[in-house]
Amino acid sequence: MKGNFAMNPAAARLPIAESFLIQQDWSIYTPDQHAVWAELVSRRMPQLEEHACAEYLDGFDQIGLREDAIPNLAEVNKRLGPRTGWNATSVSGFLPPDAFFEMLAARQFPTTTWLRKRESLEYTPEPDIFHDVFGHVPMHAHPVFADFLQEYGRVCAGLIHDKDKLERMGRLFWFTVEFGVIRQKGEIKLYGSGLISSHGESTHVINRSSEGGPEIRDFDLDAVLNQEFLVSEMQKVLYAVESFDQIYEAAKEAEHRLT
Ligand SMILES: [Fe+2]
């Protein structure tokens, strides 16, 4: 374990993000909302069992996510905290960059608490609890990924006044945390939350040769920092890592390249 999470994450000071923090009131979710969650999970799991990376599937079990109920973040954190020191912390919505990076550097993942409606099972323009918890949080149980994400937040916090450098760091986030893939036993496996939480995006990657899906290149930090992307379109290029150590080292190396 490279990171130091001896401090209690819940007690970490977040002077910038503080005004965005909210409490999740789990008791107000309706049976229909829990049913929407169950439907979302049951739509994704058959594909993920075959195509998600092993670390995601392990993390899903380790943090006790349920297929039939919206996650209670307090329960998730009771399991996640002792493993890596990460905490899924409820926030009111999109955070400005300085608050977002402050939270990552403190091992607190900003997590929305609302859930998409049944009419938009496949896509929401803004992240909801399905994208944030189902898509992101299982990977935070993996020690190296956990260290990478904290390091990423720390490096970005140090670049906060340089828009151009932050944009380049945003590409590192996009091609790892959101749309990352990894080679395991000779196959491409998914770990980015934008893939994990989207059936359409994942299918586009899995069936890439028949559906004109993305070209998969070997991960290269310089290439990623220079790779523009469109949020609103299916991805045309993705970068495959060989191990999660590679992205941890990339976050550290990015600091040298950009400062
Ligand atoms: Fe995300």
Across the range 23-51, mean pLDDT stands at: 98
Question: CB of 247 within 8 A of CB of 180?
Answer: yes
* pLDDT level of residue 12 (50, 70, 90 thresholds): low
The residue among 95, 112, 78, 73 whose CA lies nearest residue 8 is 78
| Lowest mean pLDDT, pick from 48-52, 122-126, 143-147 | 122-126
* pLDDT level of residue 4 (50, 70, 90 thresholds): very low
pLDDT in tens, 132-165: 999 999 999 999 999 999 999 999 999 999 999 9
State how far the alpha carbon of 91 is from the alpha carbons of 15, 18, 87, 112, in Å. 14, 9, 12, 6
Does residue 236 sit in helix, strand or coil?
coil
Token code pair at residue 55: 């670390």
pLDDT in tens, 202-214: 999 999 999 899 9
Question: CB of 50 within 8 A of CB of 138?
Answer: no
pTM above 0.75, yes or no: yes
Across the range 16-44, mean pLDDT stands at: 97
Å from CA of 195 to ligand 1 middle: 10
β-partners of residue 217 are 239
pLDDT in tens, 179-235: 999 999 999 999 999 999 999 999 999 999 998 999 999 999 999 999 999 888 889
Query: Catalytic positions, please?
Result: 131, 136, 178, 197
pLDDT at 122: 86
* pLDDT level of residue 8 (50, 70, 90 thresholds): very low
**Is residue 173's pLDDT more than 80?**
yes
pLDDT at 104: 98
Å from CA of 194 to ligand 1 middle: 6
pLDDT in tens, 77-112: 999 999 999 999 999 999 999 999 999 999 999 999
Q: Which amino acid is at 73?
A: L
Across the range 64-84, mean pLDDT stands at: 98
**How many C-beta atoms surround the C-beta of residue 227 within 10 A?**
18
Å from CA of 242 to ligand 1 middle: 22
Å from CA of 216 to ligand 1 middle: 20
Å from CA of 212 to ligand 1 middle: 24
Across the range 107-121, mean pLDDT stands at: 96
Å from CA of 88 to ligand 1 middle: 13
**Is residue 247's pLDDT more than 70?**
yes
